[in-house]
Amino acid sequence: MTFAISKIMINAPADALWKVIGNFGAACDYLALVVNCVVEGTGVGARRTLTSIDGSTIIERLDAQDPVTHQLSYSLLTDTPFRDCLTTVALNDRGSTMTELSWSATFEPDVLPVSEAVELMEFALAANCRALKSFIER
C-alpha cells in the first residue's frame, strides 16, 4: 500500500472541529470545489456523492467514525488514479484552543507512477486541510 498525509494546526478546539468533520454530509460547507453533497444512509456504511464545480462526482463510503478519538475514515468508490483508497481524518487536541488535523490516505496507484500518485494525493489532502482551516478560523 502507498501512503500520503497532510497535517495542519487549526486554531480551534478538537470538539469544535469534530462538529464539522464528524458530519459526513458537511463536505460542501468547507471544501471550496465541492458544490453539493448528498448522503444516502446514516452512520458507518453511509455513502456520499460529492459534486464539484465542474460537474464531476465522487462517491465515498463512511467506514469508521469515532467521536471519542475524533477519527473518521472513508473509502473512495469512484474510479480515480487511486485504487483501494482509504482516507482517514484525525484530530489531535493540542491544548484548549489548538488542534492538529491529520488527513491521510492509503491506496494503490492506478495508471500513475507511484511518485506522481503520492504527489497528487498529498496535494489534494493539503488542499482539504487548508480549506477546513480557513472555514473554521473565519
Predicted local distance difference test score (pLDDT) of residue 89: 98
Q: What residue ranges define each of the domains in the chain, with the CATH number in brackets?
A: 2-137 (3.30.530.20)
Rounded Cα distance between 109 and 63, Å, is: 21
Predicted local distance difference test score (pLDDT) of residue 95: 86
Q: Of 100, 71, 101, 69, whose CA–CA distance to 86 is shortest?
A: 71
* CB-based contact 64:15 (threshold 8 Å): no
* CB-based contact 110:116 (threshold 8 Å): no
Strand partners, 92: 100
Predicted local distance difference test score (pLDDT) of residue 80: 87
Ranges of the chain with pLDDT below 50: none
Predicted local distance difference test score (pLDDT) of residue 32: 85
For the sheet with 34-40, list strands across it.
2-10, 99-109, 82-93, 71-76, 57-66, 47-52, 34-40
